[in-house]
């Protein structure tokens, strides 16, 4: 079978790579062409465009790059037609993917979506287009299935692929990890400032402003695979700060606490059972637009899945040194940590267990064979 997969950002690359591995396992003749990243490239197939080429964050950034985006959309349509796949598989990244999906469905291609666009967070009116343009939807969050049910759209909950990604990773010994990266024996506070330059610029300086207030801890920045060390270097002013690139899971596995930019990383941190403070700050224009269209009580996936405030969220003006210091002190307290660990274990149960990538691959492959 011929598969054309469209993923964007680091999280889409991760989930896309695991889906590709599962497809290649059950379909030995699978011919995969994709938009993604390094992890997908290592899994096999042919990389068409790297997600770095379209890493635009926020409404204002998208508007400034519209010409480039439209060129990429046009290129993508032509590439799909030339490849003529049995199925086009979309992974999250709704702004780009829903435009391609509308075209692909009209052209007669089978369309599958793995990891739903966040229509449950804003602009629910997009459900009408999704029902029209997507033949099968596979969702990874339990509340998303219930959301679509309200619109009479039957989707399949397959569980969350992060559980597999974490369970199947190569284990790292803490002593060996510290020695390799020249870390001290102090407890580690991991800093996860995001993967895009715009968000790292807004998040990292505030996170690093706490270093002198917690001298008994070692602060370690989790560098994104899409960014070079030189970019981070300008933010690092303290000797008690270390930098480790593209080893976020290894870092979380040995961390005592974490400051995390809102996104998939909040869920990853929770699955590693690391107490965290969730942070987010966007451009003023993007924030005020988002505030008017997003209908959710929370921004972190941890709180959304649990439907209560498990982790503290510091958003926009609340994300400042004073508030961040206070919340970090709280998650370093033993009593607060016990409650977080209990909620984290419950969260893992709600996410449905292992096998999301394999379930999705089988559903896609069996539908093609039918």
**Superfamily, domain 169-350:** Glycogen Phosphorylase B; (3.40.50.2000)
pLDDT of 9 reads 82
Return residue ranges of the chain for CATH 3.40.50.2000.
Answer: 2-159+355-369, 169-350
Ramachandran region of residue 92, left (φ > 0), alpha (ψ -120 to 50) or beta? Answer: left
Q: What gap in Å lies between CA 47 and CA 37, rounded to an integer? A: 8
pLDDT category at 61 given cuts 50, 70, 90 is low
Q: What gap in Å lies between CA 147 and CA 153, rounded to an integer? A: 9
Tokens 């379909």 belong to residue: 27
* Structural element, H or E, at residue 2: strand 2-7
DSSP letters along 110-142, please? -EEEES--STTTB-GGGHHHHHHH-SEEEESSH
pLDDT of 64 reads 64
Q: Let me know: does 7 contact 40? Beta carbons within 8 Å.
A: yes
On whether the 2-159+355-369 domain is CATH 3.40.50.2000, my answer is yes
Q: What would the two tokens of residue 313 be?
A: 């969220």
Write the pLDDT tens digit of every residue in 6-49.
Answer: 998 888 998 999 999 999 999 999 999 999 999 999 999 999 99
Does pLDDT of 60 surpass 60? no
Cα distances from 155 to residues 127, 130, 241, in angstroms, run 12, 11, 45
- Answer yes or no: pTM beyond 0.75: yes
**Three-class SS of residue 5?**
strand
Task: Please give the order of strands across the beta sheet that includes 2-7.
Answer: 46-50, 31-36, 2-7, 87-91, 111-114, 136-139, 156-157
5 forms beta bridges with 34, 89
pLDDT of 158 reads 96
């Amino acid at each position: 079978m011929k598969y054309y997969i469209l993923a964007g950002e680091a999280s889409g690359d991760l989930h896309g790579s695991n889906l590709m591995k599962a497809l290649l396992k059950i379909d030995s003749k699978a011919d995969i062409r994709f938009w993604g990243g390094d992890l997908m490239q290592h899994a096999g197939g042919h990389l068409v465009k790297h997600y770095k080429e379209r890493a635009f964050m926020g409404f204002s950034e998208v508007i400034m790059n519209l010409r480039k985006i439209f060129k990429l959309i046009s290129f993508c349509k032509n590439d799909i037609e030339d490849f003529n796949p049995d199925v086009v598989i979309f992974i999250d990244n709704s702004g780009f993917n829903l435009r391609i999906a509308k075209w692909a469905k009209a052209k007669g291609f089978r369309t599958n979506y793995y990891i739903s666009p966040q229509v449950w967070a804003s602009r629910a009116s997009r459900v009408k287009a999704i029902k029209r343009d997507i033949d099968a939807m596979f969702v990874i969050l339990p509340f998303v299935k219930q959301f679509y049910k309200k619109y009479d759209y039957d989707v399949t909950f397959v569980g969350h692929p992060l559980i597999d990604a974490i369970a199947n990773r190569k284990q790292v010994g803490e002593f060996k990890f510290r020695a390799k990266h020249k870390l001290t024996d102090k407890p580690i506070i991991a800093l996860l400032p995001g993967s895009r330059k715009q968000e790292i610029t807004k998040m990292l300086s505030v996170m690093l402003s706490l270093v002198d207030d917690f001298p008994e801890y070692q602060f370690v920045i989790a560098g994104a695979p899409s960014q070079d060390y030189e970019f981070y270097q300008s933010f690092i002013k303290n000797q008690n700060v270390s930098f480790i690139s593209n080893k976020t899971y290894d870092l979380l596995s040995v961390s005592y606490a974490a400051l995390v930019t809102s996104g998939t990383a909040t869920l990853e941190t929770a699955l590693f059972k690391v107490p965290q403070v969730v942070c987010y700050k966007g451009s003023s224009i993007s924030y005020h637009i988002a505030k008017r269209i997003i209908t959710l009580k929370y921004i972190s996936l941890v709180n959304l899945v649990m439907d209560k405030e498990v982790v503290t969220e510091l958003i926009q003006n609340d994300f400042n040194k004073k508030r961040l210091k206070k919340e970090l002190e709280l998650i370093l307290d033993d009593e607060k940590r016990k409650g977080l660990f209990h909620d984290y274990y419950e969260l893992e149960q709600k996410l449905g267990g292992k096998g999301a990538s394999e379930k999705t691959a089988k559903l896609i492959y069996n539908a093609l064979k039918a």
